[in-house]
């Protein structure tokens, strides 16, 4: 029995051409799928970062809303160093009014928010708070990390008070401004004095500074992945 030419099947060249076409189509499909997966990962990562920024802003606003507007502890309710800024806020624990110390500062892991345990009594609050007042940049082991944002690489904080000359600034991983200041005493003109080194606290005899009120906090956070920072300001007991 003789075979006809049409029953001979595909030639080697035809098989190779078919394989090449299938390989090209498969490669194009794989690249399209890979681009789609990478795009989805980028969207998810950006969404997670944005959620972290929103959480940071909301937490900062909540802390500002509960910030002490005056020195209920008998000492100033805020402290600012070169890296960290702290203040005392109101806290509700089991339907009992208490206090809590909160802080925002830079670490090798990024921006962190720290909180103390609920402080039910004035003596208990002063014990924790005096240590922070002495050195705001020294992180106590009693503080717990409640929020961490690795994408934030710098922080600048400005405390707004009723005494402009007492305003302090803290800048993440940078020195605070050391421009000369001129305290003014009642009934006379002040003499220029040099500002203290970054991170140090000043004990002043100026009556206006002793009675100063905490008006608010202005924050500026620099981001790793964005060219513009997050800026937020608040007044004690509210937010802007």
Q: How far is the CA of 118 from the CAs of 71, 122, 124, 195, in angstroms?
A: 18, 11, 10, 35
**Radius of gyration of the chain, Cα coordinates, nearest whole angstrom:** 30
Task: State residue 71's pLDDT score.
Answer: 63
Tokens 């009693």, located at residue: 142
Task: State residue 58's pLDDT score.
Answer: 92
CA–CA gap between residue 28 and residue 42 (Å, rounded) = 21
Say if pTM beats, i.e. exceeds, 0.85: no
The CA-to-CA distance between both ends of the chain, in Å, stands at: 96
pLDDT in tens, 149-188: 999 999 999 888 776 555 555 554 443 333 333 333 334 4
Task: State residue 186's pLDDT score.
Answer: 38
Q: What count of residues does the chain have?
A: 240
CA–CA gap between residue 85 and residue 158 (Å, rounded) = 9
Phi, psi of 85 (to 5 degrees): -135, 140
Task: State residue 206's pLDDT score.
Answer: 40
Task: State residue 178's pLDDT score.
Answer: 33
Task: State residue 215's pLDDT score.
Answer: 78
Q: How far is the CA of 195 from the CAs of 95, 163, 185, 186, in angstroms?
A: 44, 16, 17, 21
Task: State residue 203's pLDDT score.
Answer: 35
Task: State residue 3's pLDDT score.
Answer: 52
3-state helix, strand, coil in the chain (%, to 5): 30, 30, 40
CB atoms under 10 Å from CB of 8, counted, come to 8
Paired with 161 in beta bridges are: 214
CA–CA gap between residue 167 and residue 161 (Å, rounded) = 6
Helix (H) or strand (E) segment spanning residue 169: strand 169-171
Task: State residue 207's pLDDT score.
Answer: 39
Q: Which residues of the chain have pLDDT under 50?
A: 172-210
Tokens 């009120």, located at residue: 213
Tokens 């500026």, located at residue: 220
Task: State residue 2's pLDDT score.
Answer: 56
Pairing of strands 230-235, 214-223: antiparallel
Task: State residue 175's pLDDT score.
Answer: 34
Question: Both tokens of residue 23?
Answer: 């390989």
């Amino acid at each position: 029995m003789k075979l006809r030419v049409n029953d001979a099947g595909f030639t080697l060249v035809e098989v190779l051409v078919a394989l090449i076409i299938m390989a090209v189509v498969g490669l194009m499909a794989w690249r399209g799928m890979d681009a789609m997966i990478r795009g989805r990962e980028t969207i998810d990562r950006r969404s997670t970062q944005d959620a972290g920024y929103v959480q940071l802003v909301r937490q900062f606003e909540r802390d500002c809303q509960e910030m002490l507007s005056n020195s209920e502890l008998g000492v100033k309710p805020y402290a600012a160093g070169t890296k960290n800024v702290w203040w005392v806020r109101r806290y509700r624990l089991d339907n009992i009014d208490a206090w809590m110390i909160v802080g925002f500062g830079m670490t090798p892991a990024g921006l962190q928010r720290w909180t103390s345990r609920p402080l039910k009594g004035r003596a208990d609050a002063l014990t924790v708070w005096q240590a922070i007042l002495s050195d705001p940049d020294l992180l106590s082991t009693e503080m717990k990390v409640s929020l961490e944002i690795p994408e934030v690489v710098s922080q600048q904080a400005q405390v707004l008070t009723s005494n402009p000359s007492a305003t302090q600034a803290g800048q993440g991983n940078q020195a605070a401004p050391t421009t000369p200041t001129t305290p003014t005493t009642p009934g006379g003109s002040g003499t220029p004095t040099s500002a203290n080194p970054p991170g140090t606290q000043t004990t002043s005899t100026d009556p206006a500074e002793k009675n100063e009120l905490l008006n608010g906090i202005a924050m500026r956070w620099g981001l790793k992945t964005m060219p513009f920072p997050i800026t937020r300001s608040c007044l004690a007991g509210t937010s802007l």
